Amino acid sequence: MIALIDCNSFYASCEQVFRPDLQNKPVVVLSNNDGCIIAANKQAKALTNIPMFQPIFKIKKILDANNVVCFSSNYTLYSDMSRRVMDTLKNFSHIVEEYSIDESFIDLSLYNEKDLETVAINIKETVYKNTGIPVGVGIAKTKSLAKMANKFAKKHIENDNVYVVNTEEKRKHLLQNSKVKDIWGVGKKHAVRIENTGCKTALDFANMEVAWVRKQMTVIGERLWRELNGLPCLEMITIPKPKKAIGTAKSFGYKLTDYRLIEEACSYYVAEVADLLRQQKSVATQIQVFLTTNYHSEYDKQYQQSITITLSSPTNSTIKLTQQALTGLKKIYKTGFRYKKVGVNLLHLVSEDQVQLNLFNVDHKITSKKITDTIDILNSKFGKNKVKLATVGNREKQWALIKEQRSPRFTTQWDELMTIGKK
């Protein structure tokens, strides 16, 4: 049996852990640049007209009228809280798959099946006691059913955030009471196609002809169909696979026209992704740079362009990647536009030790590696970005994201610890 544990309104819950005064109050967390809502707690969700992913300026009035507390996103805090939750889960099973920042699958086959209800409640209570984060638990024979059981448990309050599918009756009850669009892996497009055949519930889908499913939804759909019928097709992935691509693309805090500033932002992003690349001990064979104006704007002239450069030899050197990225950026940049976003993608990543050495730049490679290693060591000792390339610039980041309401990084910064009582 597999359990899916999912944190309730994770980002908002993280904020509330350190702000007990916000218990039972509506709380939302905003995206980068404070652009739109990416998380809302129960109380905020209960207010109608707070749709997720809506630009904040459209619903500002509703937020204010209801005294909704808004936070800028604070990923440093959320990552650390996530680690605490995951550590707690490891006490319940040795087979844990960290599926995302706020959910995990864990294998419970060592437990007696009739005890699972108790185990589920125990997991929920222990995580809350250790971290302050409320979670939901869904348990079933397959990942897809566990995922749906979890969602079902949250939706129907009488389940108190726990649902265990340990009988055929409960499987049918779960699927009968879930809509097609609630099936994990069925998005908008497939939901329409499925419903057009007359299916209304997840159970109807599970009873469809598998040939139709295969044809319309490929092998992914067939796996899902089997999983809903109790046949496990998705394995537990306990060792995270190295990423095949690493990218970043963030909107600027302000529209940019100045090439120099865009270049600084681009260099900064290259340093970020190159760092992640080295952490997973990979090298990139291609780098892609793209630049775009604000496509939402009706006034601005629109322009977007991207360029993909194949590197002469695969690398994870910030220096080399920056050189290539800026060469690319120069090619696609055109004057006369107000730019909104620049992005960098590292593509076709391969393991460091699988690289085919290019005979002709061995020397260069080694020198470059020494510099990169030294920069990494210094930065891990003295703090992120203390040592950087000159192209990143040293002035205030005029392109930086807007984060007006970020909470303190309570758990990772000594100077941002919580204070109690008078100073």
Q: Which is nearer to DNA, 33 or 315 (CB)?
A: 33
User: Phi, psi at residue 203, to the nearest 5°?
Assistant: -65, -40
Q: Which is nearer to DNA, 221 or 393 (CB)?
A: 221
Decide: is 136 part of the binding site for DNA (CB under 7 A).
Answer: no
Among 143, 178, 341, 391, binds DNA (CB under 7 A): 341
Among 126, 229, 294, 313, binds DNA (CB under 7 A): 294
- Report yes or no: 388 and 271 within 8 Å, Cβ to Cβ: yes
How far, in Å, CA of 349 to CA of 277, rounded? 8
Q: Minimal CA–CA distance to 338: which of 250, 253, 254, 401?
A: 254
> Strand, helix or coil at 47?
coil
> Strand, helix or coil at 255?
strand
Across the beta sheet with 135-140, the strand order is 96-100, 103-107, 2-7, 135-140, 162-164
Q: Which is nearer to DNA, 200 or 370 (CB)?
A: 200
Identity (one letter) of the amino acid at 29? V
DSSP-assigned letters across all residues of 157-210: GGGTTEEE--SHHHHHHHHHTSBGGGSTT--HHHHHHHHTTT--BHHHHHTS-H
Residues between 52 and 91 with contacts to DNA, criterion CB under 7 A: 53, 55, 57
Q: Which stretch binds DNA (CB under 7 A): 169-177, 258-266, 337-345, 372-380?
A: 337-345
- Report yes or no: 323 and 315 within 8 Å, Cβ to Cβ: no
Decide: is 35 part of the binding site for DNA (CB under 7 A).
Answer: yes
Decide: is 393 part of the binding site for DNA (CB under 7 A).
Answer: no
Q: Which stretch binds DNA (CB under 7 A): 94-102, 161-169, 200-208, 411-419?
A: 94-102
Residue 132 per-residue DSSP state: S
Q: Which is nearer to DNA, 305 or 364 (CB)?
A: 305
Q: Which residue has the tokens 């936070």?
A: 71
Site string for DNA, 241-270 (x = CB under 7 A): x-xxxxxxxxx---x---------------
Residues between 227 and 246 with contacts to DNA, criterion CB under 7 A: 241, 243-246
Q: Which stretch binds DNA (CB under 7 A): 79-87, 98-106, 199-207, 367-375?
A: 98-106
Decide: is 103 part of the binding site for DNA (CB under 7 A).
Answer: yes
Judged by the rule CB under 7 A, the positions of this chain that interact with DNA are 31-33, 35-36, 38, 53, 55, 57, 99-103, 147, 183-191, 218-220, 241, 243-251, 255, 276, 294, 296-297, 299, 340-341, 343, 401
